[in-house]
Amino acid sequence: AQSVSQHNHHVILSEAASLELGCNYSYGGTVNLFWYVQYPGQHLQLLLKYFSGDPLVKGIKGFEAEFIKSKFSFNLRKPSVQWSDTAEYFCAVNSFMDSSYKLIFGSGTRLLVRP
Amino acid sequence: NAGVTQTPKFQVLKTGQSMTLQCAQDMNHEYMSWYRQDPGMGLRLIHYSVGAGITDQGEVPNGYNVSRSTTEDFPLRLLSAAPSQTSVYFCASRLRNSGTNTGELFFGEGSRLTVL
Q: HSE (CB half, 13 Å, CA atoms) of B39?
A: 2
Percentage, residues of chain B above pLDDT 90: 78
Residue A98 in contact with residue B97, Cβ under 8 Å?
no
- Give the closest-approach CA distance of A46 to chain B in angstroms: 7
Give chain B's contact residues with A (Cβ, < 8 Å): 31, 33, 35, 40-45, 48, 50, 56, 58-59, 90, 92, 97, 100-102, 104-105, 107-110
pLDDT band at A1 (very low <50, low <70, confident <90, very high): low
pLDDT band at B2 (very low <50, low <70, confident <90, very high): confident
Among the listed ranges A40-49, B23-32, B93-102, which one has the minimum average pLDDT value? B93-102
Has residue A100 got a pLDDT over 70? Answer: no
How confident is the model over A13-23, as pLDDT tens digits? 999 999 999 99
Has residue A62 got a pLDDT over 90? Answer: yes
Residue A7's pLDDT is: 86
**CA-CA distance, A96 to A1, in Å (whole number)?**
14
Residue A70 has a CB neighbour count (10 Å cut-off) of 5
Task: Give a three-class secondary structure readout of A19-52.
Answer: EEECCEECCCCCEEEEEEEECCCCCCEEEEEECC
Has residue B96 got a pLDDT over 90? Answer: no
Which residues in chain B touch residue A44, judged by CB atoms under 8 angstroms apart?
43, 90, 92, 105, 107
pLDDT band at A97 (very low <50, low <70, confident <90, very high): low
How confident is the model over B44-55, as pLDDT tens digits? 999 999 899 999
Per-residue pLDDT averaged across B84-113, rounded? 86
Residue A8's pLDDT is: 87
Per-residue pLDDT averaged across B73-86, rounded? 96
Apex B67 CA angle, A92 and B54, nearest 5: 70
Residue A99's pLDDT is: 56
Which residues in chain B touch residue A42, judged by CB atoms under 8 angstroms apart?
109
Has residue B101 got a pLDDT over 70? Answer: no
